[in-house]
Structure 1
Amino acid sequence: MRVLICPDKFAGTLSAPEVAAAVIAGWHDTAPGDQAIARPLADGGPGFVEVLAGAVAGRRLAVPTVDPLGRPAQGEILVTDPDDGGVPTAYVESAQACGLHLLSEDERDPKITTSYGLGLLIAAAVESGARRVVIGLGGSATNDAGAGLLAALGAAPIDEIGHALPYGGAVLGSASALAGAPRLREVELVAATDVDNPLTGLHGASNVYGPQKGASREDVFLLDSALEVFAGVLERELPTCPPDLATLPGAGAAGGLGAAILALGGRCESGIALVTDMIGLAAALDEADLVITGEGSFDHQSLRGKVVAGIAGAARDRGLPCVVLAGRVSTGRREAAAAGVTEAYSLVDHFGGEEHGGVEQAMTRPAEGLRAVSARLAGQWSR
């Protein structure tokens, strides 16, 4: 039996490759003769570079950067040098510098967090000789519409008397201009994201994602207004910026990082489509008998453009059963089935449910739980 294992990360506990390894180990505990193929996935968020590095030939370069509060952090970029005449490309992961996971609960404050560290990673990608830079967006702690990113590239936002603005999204209501031109050497920028939110408004970055980054209701109003002002500055200052930037689909991705990339003349592409194409997922699906995917929380958002939804839909189109393994499952059975999910299993339930400490166990022993659930699945599904 050919079992295709293509999970996303379990946020806060395991990377996608670690999830896949645990599932394969469990399956082979019960059915050692089956062929288990790992194709770990990412949609542009945390794990983007790691997943691609396991699938394509390239150099992983360590890059010193800073976290959302400006503290030293370590990042890396993946640089490919195609020998078939293709474009030298660098892959960058915004979460390595802007990630919410880099901050403790009491440090989360999108009024002051910055994307400056991502700008440092992009600058390193440009200096590596790449002619295209693909930036995975997702899991950010920032809401500054890429103001910090631009500052790191030489185009810091300034107020009306020419003073550079502090870090964060809250001060962007005072932005009047940019202090210089971005140093990009005509490199092509691509934002890898499956978020289509605009920058501002009811469905914008601040309203939809601000609260999970620590924004209060008052903060959301302040940030939304500030980003609207900053969008106008970008339209005036950057010749590459498209009109009506604040309303464009994808501009609100990762706290408005999408807007900065669009303003720099870049474009948005589906992160999950890019990754699945690069790892050859379609061919693997064509040869599979069963598909196993998963993520930390399988909920209503999972079926709206996330990794699990894409995998389940592709399996359904091929008539394949698709099983979801997750830390927690809150999606209804009927809704999941409509999306192509055959069965869904929760680590919280495996460890006895919420009333018996299942949540804590799922967070502290996820690999052990995945291995046990996968072994049980093999007993049910293996020929």
Structure 2
Amino acid sequence: MNYLVIPDKFKGSLTAKEVIQSITNGLERADKSPSIDTVIASDGGDGFLDAVATNIVAEEVIVETLDPLGTKIFASYLFKEETKTAYVELAKASGLELLKEKDRCAKSTSTYGTGILIKNAIKKGATKIYVGLGGSATNDAGMGIAAALGYSFLDEDGIVLNPIGDNLSKVFKIERNATASILNRIQFFAVNDVDNPLFGPNGAAYVYAKQKGACTEDIAKLDNALEYFNSVIKHSLVVDNSLLPGAGAAGGTAYGLKTFFNAEFISGVNFLLELAQVSTIFKNKKIDYVITGEGKIDSQTSNGKLVKGIVDLSKQFNVPVVAVCGKLDANKAELQKMGLKNAIEIYDKKKSVDYSMRNAAKLVENIMYQFFKKKTSIMFKIKLM
């Protein structure tokens, strides 16, 4: 049988490449002669650069920058000289995975380090910049990136504020450095696949800040701060992007990119599937199964995640999709809404989540073997009839 394998990472456990290897191992055990095409993909979050790097030839540029709490680190972006295009993954400098769990604090983190990467890319000659959003440790509405690129945020006393989430509610005036005019010649693209607004019950703080170390009280304060910050923006810049679908991505970074740099919002899934020419694979080869997956499949998976994008594309070619995940927290109706007929979790309720994460590679391989052993046996019998 012909298989197309396009999974996302299993966050905190396996990279997309490692998931692909485990699925491939399982298929090769179950099917004596499998034909397997694999694609490294991403929804614009963690793994964005890996997905881009597998599909285009670009230089990896390593830069000294800052992590979400302002500690010096080295991070990279990709630069394609021929097209003057840079690809920046926000999680590389401003990601949640850069911080120990005890250090995560959405009030104190900033996207400033990502701004340093973007600034370096502009100095290198980039005129197009794609920023992959997702996996952020921040809730600063992109204020950090803006500060790194020539904006200043002042309080009532005219003191320049540190661009962190906790200071959104203290912004009184916004200034732009004269040298920042070069930004008018740069095309920015915010690559993400969530549709959350900036603030409110479905906004950046209420939906995502908890996993970034915010308590219930913090979340309410951050949400109010985002709404206040938008009011300052409306007064100072006479724009309001707060309700744009996706504005709340990466703690409001998408909102900041749109507001300060007029970034275009594009779908991460569609962008990377097009880059990988996945439609061409479907057209040139009869695919029997598409296999995708991610660490957790739940009700949010249908909101623009990679799995949903794979399902939607596969429907166009009438190919069934099998999804493997670490944890399955979606009911039958939610799976049907996503278009998934088969979703398999590796989590065993008799064992700890930690066990599943530590042994994910082997568990994915085994569950793929078990599932497709039955499928290939049925196919073999049909051929004999």
Question: Could you tell me the TM-score, scaled by structure 1's length?
Answer: 0.91
Find the counterpart in structure 2 of residue 280 from structure 1: 277
Match of 1:373 in 2: 367
**Cα pair 1:108 1:214 within 8 Å, conserved:** yes
Task: Report the Cα distance in structure 2 between the residues aligned to 1:269 and 1:21, rounded to whole angstroms.
Answer: 29
Residue number in structure 1 paired with 2:9: 9
Residue 18 of structure 1 is matched in structure 2 by 18
Give SS of 1:125's match.
helix
For 1:97, the equivalent position in structure 2 comes to 93
Distance 2:225 2:333 in 1: 42
Q: What is the one-letter code of the residue matched to 1:354?
A: K
Larger deviation: 307-316 or 256-265?
Answer: 307-316
Q: Summarize deviations over 1:306-364 as a string: whole Å, max 9, x none.
A: 1111212322332212111111112223432443223122111xxxx22233x222110
What residue identity is the alignment partner of 1:159? Answer: D
Give the residue type in structure 2 aligned to 1:369.
L
Q: Counterpart of 1:109?
A: 105
Counterpart residue identity of residue 374, structure 2: Q
Q: How does 1:55-134 map to 2 (within 5 A)?
A: 55-82=55-82, 87-134=83-130
* Contact preservation (8 Å) 1:193, 1:250: yes
Stretch of structure 1 that moved more, 90-99 or 228-237: 228-237
For the residue of structure 1 that corresponds to 2:183, the secondary structure is coil
Task: Report the 3-state secondary structure (helix = DSSP H, G, I; strand = E; otherwise coil) of the residue aligned with 1:294.
Answer: strand
Q: Which residue does the alignment assign to 1:224?
A: 223
Moved more, 4-13 or 165-174: 165-174
The corresponding residue for 2:232 is 233
Equivalent residues of 1:10, 1:295 under 8 A apart:
yes
Moved more, 305-314 or 37-46: 305-314
- Contact 2:40–2:50 (CA under 8 A) maintained in structure 1: no
Change (3 A) 1:274 1:6: same
Corresponding residue for 2:191?
192
In structure 2, C-alpha distance between the alignment counterparts of 1:227 and 1:303, rounded to whole Å: 26
The residue matched to 2:214 in structure 1 has which SS? coil
Q: 2:243 corresponds to which letter in structure 1?
A: T
3-state SS, counterpart of residue 25 of structure 1: helix
Report the residue type matching 2:167 in the other structure: V
Q: 2: CA distance between counterparts of 1:249 and 1:338? A: 20
Q: Do the aligned partners of 2:128 and 2:186 also contact (CA within 8 Å) in 1?
A: yes
Which stretch shows the higher mean deviation, 308-317 or 15-24?
A: 308-317
Cα displacement string for residues 266-291 of structure 1 (whole angstroms, at most 9, x for unaligned residues):
12111111111101112223431110
Opposite residue 351 of structure 2, the aligned amino acid is H
- How many angstroms apart in 2 are the aligned matches of 1:321 and 1:202? 35
Structure 2 residue 172 is matched with structure 1 residue 166: no
SS at match of 1:156: strand
- Could you say which residue in structure 2 is the equivalent of 1:361? 355
1:64, distance to aligned residue in structure 2 (A): 2.0
From the two aligned structures, give the one with the greater helix fraction: 2
Equivalent residue number for residue 171 of structure 2: 175
Point out the more displaced range, 8-17 or 96-105. Answer: 96-105
Q: Whole-Å Cα distance in 1 between the matches of residues 338 and 168 of structure 2?
A: 41
Q: Structure 1 pair 330/217, CA: closer, same or farther in 2 (3 Å)?
A: closer
Q: Report the equivalent of 1:210.
A: 209
Moved more, 24-33 or 289-298: 24-33
Structure 1 unmatched ranges of 5 or more: none
Residue aligning to 2:382:
none
Instruction: Provide the TM-score with structure 2 as the length reference.
Output: 0.91
In the alignment, which residue of structure 2 is the partner of 1:147? 143
Matched letter for residue 218 of structure 1: E
**Residue of structure 2 in register with 1:295 after alignment:** 294
Q: CA RMSD in A?
A: 1.9
What is the identity, as a one-letter code, of the residue corresponding to 1:332? Answer: N
TM-aligned CA distance change 1:184 to 1:36, over 3 Å: same
Q: How far off its partner does 1:108 sit?
A: 1.7
Q: Report the Cα distance in structure 2 between the residues aligned to 1:237 and 1:73, rounded to whole angstroms.
A: 34
Tell me the residue number matched to 1:269. Answer: 266
The letter for the 2-side match of 1:3 is Y
Cα distance in 1 for residues equivalent to 2:281 and 2:339: 17
Structure-2 change in CA distance of 1:32 and 1:81 (3 Å): farther
Distance in 2 separating the partners of 1:105 and 1:16: 22
Aligned CA distance change for structure 1 residues 285 and 194 (closer, same or farther; 3 Å): same
Letter in 2 for 1:42: S
Per-residue Cα deviation, 1:228-274 (whole angstroms, up to 9, x for no partner) = 23223334555xxx722222222211101011111121121111111
- Which range is displaced more, 7-16 or 30-39? 30-39
Instruction: List runs of 5+ in structure 2 lacking aligned partners.
Output: 380-385
In structure 2, how many angstroms separate the alpha carbons of the residues matched to 1:374 and 1:139? 27
8 Å contact kept, 2:173–2:236: yes
Is this contact kept in 1: 2:296–2:326, CA < 8 A?
Answer: yes
1:246 is aligned to 2:242: yes
Question: 1:365 corresponds to which letter in structure 2?
Answer: N
Task: Tell me the distance in 2 between the aligned counterparts of 1:277 and 1:31.
Answer: 29
1:310 alignment partner AA: G
Q: Is the 8 A contact 1:31 1:379 kept in 2?
A: yes
Q: Does 1:47 align with 2:47?
A: yes
Kindly state the Cα deviation for residue 142 of structure 1 after the two structures are TM-superposed.
0.6
- Deviation (angstroms), 1:130: 1.5
- 1:59 and 1:21 map into 2 onto residues whose CA distance is 26
Shift in alpha-carbon separation, 1:105–1:190, aligned structure 2, 3 A = same
